[in-house]
Structure 1
Amino acid sequence: MCAQPSNKVKVWDPFIRIFHWSLAASFLLNYTVLEEGENLHEWVGYYALALIAIRIVWGFIGPLNARFSDFWPTPARIKAHLREHLHGQTPSPDRHNPVGGLMILALMAGMLVTGITGWLSTTDMFWGEELIEELHEGAASVVMGLVCLHVAAIVWFSRKGPHNLARIMWTGYRTK
């Protein structure tokens, strides 16, 4: 008996998918539901920082399309990617493109600044410091803006292209 060829192509490994949705949930929970200064808000923030730390390690040792080197947004890569779009080509959704890589780095940097300033505001040295609190809130607002841009891009590319990118991130697979 011959095996039937699958019409699914593996795109994202389980860690990347769990990281993505867990980080999204923790950020949205802290930004919209949990009150700043509450213990649960702090612990969810620490959880987000731990996720990012593990993701950074995974960016060096994980599968090829999870590695930073695979999607690092150099000017040449960004230019080539944008040129493809201008010529009506739809790049493969089997990895992050350079512009998506730029978004990943911006989101991770913004989350790191948000988390670190949140943690600093609980230390004896910076507790009650207005500047740290303003940086924390400002960084969280910047991240929310990036999240909105990210979601809008995913919706746009999912409608324009041949694949539902959110579904691929949820299941880990795309159809051929």
Structure 2
Amino acid sequence: MTPARSLRVWDPLVRALHWSLVMAVAVTWLSTLRVGIPLAWHEPAGYVAIGCIAMRLVWGVYGTRYARFRQFVRRPSTTLRYAQAVRQGRAPRHIGHNPLGGWMVLTLLASTAAIAVSGWLQTTDRYWGSETLEWVHTGLAWSLLGLIFLHVLGVIVTSRHHGENLVLAMLDGRKAPASGNDVA
């Protein structure tokens, strides 16, 4: 039985930026594979991604409660304790991002920004045709794919452990209110 979902957690801007970034990253990948997306879309999608990241950074400071980094980025020691609790099957439910999720947000944003910057640098006179920078850009992109896999796996594991659909929550912004040992 799924608890009633009445608490608004993810505001419209957080959700729009999340799904826009998902789409931008997907377009950049598909354009390099030449699978229905023209290669010409690769660079504009990278600019969309960096724009989403810039807006998310601003919203992480000035946004709504659960959008703010200070609400969900925990100390490394707290995150380590949470990871141990996950491994033991006793991790508490968090209304916003859990400690591992908070660090994953930062890692995904930083990785995607590094990819976008390394891609942009390749358009400059100084780095045009740089094989080293192309290698860095491609390596970062493959690393991002691994991080995305871990992110999705974390969403699935957490959803199952707490009996809530986190993907749906990121679509409509709502979760069940805190109860018992939940962390608000």
The TM-score normalised by the length of structure 2 is: 0.84
**CA displacement, residues 10-32 of structure 1 (integer Å, 9 cap, x when unaligned):** 11000111111110111011112
Kindly indicate whether the alpha-carbon contact (under 8 Å) linking 1:34 and 1:40 is maintained by their aligned counterparts in 2. Answer: no
* Residue of structure 1 in register with 2:15 after alignment: 17
Question: How big is the shift at 1:89?
Answer: 3.8
Kindly indicate whether the alpha-carbon contact (under 8 Å) linking 1:93 and 1:165 is maintained by their aligned counterparts in 2. Answer: no
Question: How big is the shift at 1:52?
Answer: 0.2
* Residue of structure 2 in register with 1:3 after alignment: none
Gaps of 5+ in 1: 1-5
Aligned CA RMSD, in angstroms, stands at 2.1
Q: Distance in 1 between matches of 2:120 and 2:80?
A: 38
Question: How big is the shift at 1:68?
Answer: 1.0
Amino acid at match of 2:168: R
Question: How big is the shift at 1:35?
Answer: 5.8
% identical aligned pairs: 36
Q: Distance in 1 between matches of 2:111 and 2:5?
A: 37
Q: What does residue range 1-176 of structure 1 map to in structure 2 within 5 Å?
A: 8-34=6-32, 38-85=39-86, 88-176=89-177
The range that moved more, 113-122 or 85-94, is: 85-94
Gaps of 5+ in 2: 178-184
Q: Distance in 1 between matches of 2:18 and 2:67?
A: 12
The range that moved more, 89-98 or 23-32, is: 89-98
Task: Give the ranges of 4+ consecutive aligned residues of structure 1 lying more than 2 Å apart after TM superposition.
Answer: 32-39, 79-93
Question: How big is the shift at 1:86?
Answer: 5.4
Aligned length: 171
